[in-house]
Structure 1
């Protein structure tokens, strides 16, 4: 039987809905504030239980608060997800048909890329190839800016990747529609867009998971097949390593090294 919802739960849900997605430390702070304001029991290590109570009441509405990880820094994030609409068409009320087509094509480039990024040049070159209605490059630039502001895309040095919000909300859609390239991280079991790949067995890991996993290992070996991990590990100096010297790209994560 589901635990009773309190005003603290409702306040928490209302704030999360207004933000769309919140970073883990902000979410924990919100949890404490809601419990203190509404004078209900608070324990710093009970956030998951608190959210589970909310989710049990959201289930009939086909909604759920989900936890995800930023592929940039490994920080946890929480987002409210509409389970009834897992397709990109859930964005239809906010964007025009040609804007949605541009987003789909951008997602194609990002998910199919080797490093989880698509350059602004490659994306803008798609603007006059849209089937719904062609866009001028200036118009496409503005649409990309809106996607970033709405936290569907993230931009860094002229290159775009999927925002944490997008990955949390669209995970099942991406896994279903890109079965040949979309995979889950071997460590955290979440969808991995920016990732490194084992050349021997093909498993992938997020960069934050790579850093965390190999920090505790004396020698970087794949957690699945135990072969040498051939990609460069961010934050690890291999100059003195006696292992094979195959290298991959660093910092901007590499799916295939």
Structure 2
């Protein structure tokens, strides 16, 4: 039998819905505040149990609060996911057909890239090739800005990647539609877009997971096949000072092959 839903749970859900996604520390603060306001028992280490109660009541509505990780810094995030709509069509009520087509093309570039990023130039060059309705580059720039504001894309130094919200919400869609390249991190078992790949066995690891895993190792060896990990370890090499376009990207290639470091 599911635990009872209280006003504290309802308030938490309402705030999360308004944000779309929330960083772990913010979610913990919200958890405490909701419990204090509605005088419900609070324990600092029971956030996941608190969310499980909400999820048990969301299940008949095909909704779920899911936990994911920022590929940039490894921090936990929570997002409300609509399980009944797993494809990009869930965005259809917010965007026009040609805006959605631009998003799909940007997603293709990002997922099929060597390092999980696509430059603004690469994306904007596709604006006048849309089948639904061609876009001018100025218009496409504004659409990309909206995708960033709505937390579907992230931008850094003119390079775009999938926002944590997008990865959490569309994990199953991406795994199904990009089977030859999409893979889960060997450490945290979440979808890995920005990742390093073992040259011997092909497993992938998020950069924060790479950093954390090899911190305790005297010699960097693959956790799967035990071969030497030839990629630069983030935080221990020149890699961290490079821009996204140089962190492990060889010449741009859209061959369906694993990302290499």
Normalised by the length of structure 2, the TM-score is 0.93
Query: How far did 1:238 drift?
Result: 9.7
Query: How far did 1:234 drift?
Result: 1.1
- Cα-to-partner distance string for 1:137-195 (whole Å, 9 max, x where unaligned): 11000000000000000001101000000000000000000000000000000000000
Give the aligned CA root-mean-square deviation in angstroms: 4.2
CA contact (8 A) 1:195 1:254 kept: no
Query: How far did 1:236 drift?
Result: 1.8
Structure 2: which 5+ residue stretches go unaligned?
A: none
Normalised by the length of structure 1, the TM-score is 0.94
CA contact (8 A) 1:107 1:162 kept: yes
CA contact (8 A) 2:153 2:163 kept: yes
Q: 1:238 to 1:229 in 2, by over 3 A?
A: farther
Query: How far did 1:90 drift?
Result: 0.3
Q: How many residue pairs end up in the alignment?
A: 257
- Cα-to-partner distance string for 1:22-67 (whole Å, 9 max, x where unaligned): 0000000000000011001100010010000000000000000000
Matched, 1:221 2:190: no
Q: 1:208 to 1:31 in 2, by over 3 A?
A: same
Q: Which segment drifts farther, 216-225 or 234-243?
A: 234-243
CA contact (8 A) 1:232 1:250 kept: no
SS of the equivalent of 1:240 reads: helix
SS of the equivalent of 1:245 reads: helix
Q: 1:248 to 1:88 in 2, by over 3 A?
A: closer
Q: 1:246 to 1:219 in 2, by over 3 A?
A: farther
CA contact (8 A) 2:115 2:248 kept: no
SS of the equivalent of 2:238 reads: coil
Q: 1:200 to 1:164 in 2, by over 3 A?
A: same
CA contact (8 A) 1:248 1:254 kept: no
* Larger RCO of the pair (alpha carbons < 8 Å, separation 6+): 2
CA contact (8 A) 2:116 2:194 kept: yes
Matched, 1:199 2:199: yes
